[in-house]
Structure 1
Amino acid sequence: MTDTDDTTNGEQDRRLVQGWQGRFFEDFSVGDVYKHPYGRTVTETDNVWFTNLTMNLNPMHFNEAYASETEFGERLVDGTFVIALAVGMSVVDVSANATANLGYDNIRHHAPVFHGDTIFAESEVIDTRESESRDHVGIVTTELRAYNQDDDLVLSLERTPMVLKRESANPSAAQPTGWPDGVGTQPEDLK
């Protein structure tokens, strides 16, 4: 594997380049804020499917006639879908290298979410500590906040995953997180 873009006979050398590997325990500092990439527009289908999958029988989520008579005047997006969406959005920055999620605390729905709202999420590191029982991980607590397209805070929660230490994960360009050894292009394939 080469770290240069040298050319040979007018052609560029091929090389494996390490992509984003996620953060490891050592990368987290209290006070850091990660604005997670991409917003996600919530569709009616998201809400109906999630409501049905989880057997949430509150008609506020699936009965337009009922919901139209409430103070909101329309169906609300299932709050547990909003939690799942925001947590999912945070994985790329917070828990791509987690071995377990230890807890979700202080969950608050601050404003309703409606079909067509676009959700954006960010996480702020509020605590880090070494694991007392596992040398290969540390424990990170973040406050996850989700906003709609109008900058209304719609959700906040504290999330605490156990995150691998870099030396235990040993990621590489040839074997990034989640890839089995030997799958795909290998350094010897580029020679």
Structure 2
Amino acid sequence: MRPPRAFTEVAPGRYRESRGLYYDEFDVGDVIEHRPGRTVTETDNIWMSLLSLNAHPLHIDAAYAEETEFGRPVVSSLVTLAIVGGMSTNGTSARAVANLGWEEIRLSTPVFVGDTLTAESEVVAKRLSRSRPDTGVVTFRTRGLKSDGAEVMVFTRSALIPCAGGGGAA
């Protein structure tokens, strides 16, 4: 019996969980749904806001936030980016040699404590690397979504990913 793609047989009857896809397994137009979702907590917002030195009172001062148009603290966009970016990693770049960067980060809807986020990534481009044999650059457009389907963020990210048989983390 051939093990499912998510596992590699390392000895007869013994399988190692493997994560991520090789460059060859991505096709432009593919959409990957990233699950499970993640409910944002007050602790997430306070810790990340303070860790990143983003001390804007809209994120960490409930009394201040009550007087704004939102009526409550807004989760820092750095928290949202960290959660959406992190949740997309396993499905897009778990085998990556390097993350090459983000572009066009857009924030479309505020996020509040208690919102549950999911994400999806579309493969928007791919090409073989010109400088590193046996690898390719895959570009993803990732959308962060609330459980009601509202888009909260979108960004483009590229990663250097090994070709099948070309190496990569086991």
The amino acid that maps onto 2:93 is S
Report how many aligned residue pairs link the two structures: 161
Question: How big is each residue's C-alpha offset from its partner over 1:137-189, in whole Å with a ceiling of 9 and x where there is no partner?
Answer: 10000000010011110000001011111212277xxxxx2xxxxxxxxxxxx
CA RMSD of aligned residues (A): 1.5
SS in 2 for 1:80: helix
SS in 2 for 1:107: strand
Q: Distance in 2 between matches of 1:36 and 1:115?
A: 20
CA apart distance, 1:21: 3.0
Between structure 1 and structure 2, the one with the greater Rg is 1
Structure 2: gaps of 5 or more residues? 3-11
| 95, 98, 101: which one aligns with 2:99 | 101
SS in 1 for 2:36: coil
SS in 1 for 2:17: coil
Kindly indicate which of the two structures has a greater share of residues assigned to strand: 2
Task: Map 1:158-169; keep pairs closer than 5 Å.
Answer: 158-169=156-167
Name 1:47's counterpart in structure 2.
45
| 83, 86, 92: which one aligns with 2:84 | 86
Runs of at least 4 residues off by over 4 Å: none
SS in 2 for 1:98: coil
Structure 1: gaps of 5 or more residues? 5-13, 172-176, 178-191
Query: Once the two structures are aligned, what percentage of the paired residues are identical?
Result: 40
Please give the TM-score of this superposition, normalised by the length of structure 1: 0.80
Name 1:134's counterpart in structure 2.
132
Task: Map 1:63-74; keep pairs closer than 5 Å.
Answer: 63-74=61-72
Q: Distance in 1 between matches of 2:102 and 2:168?
A: 28
Q: Distance in 2 between matches of 1:104 and 1:170?
A: 22
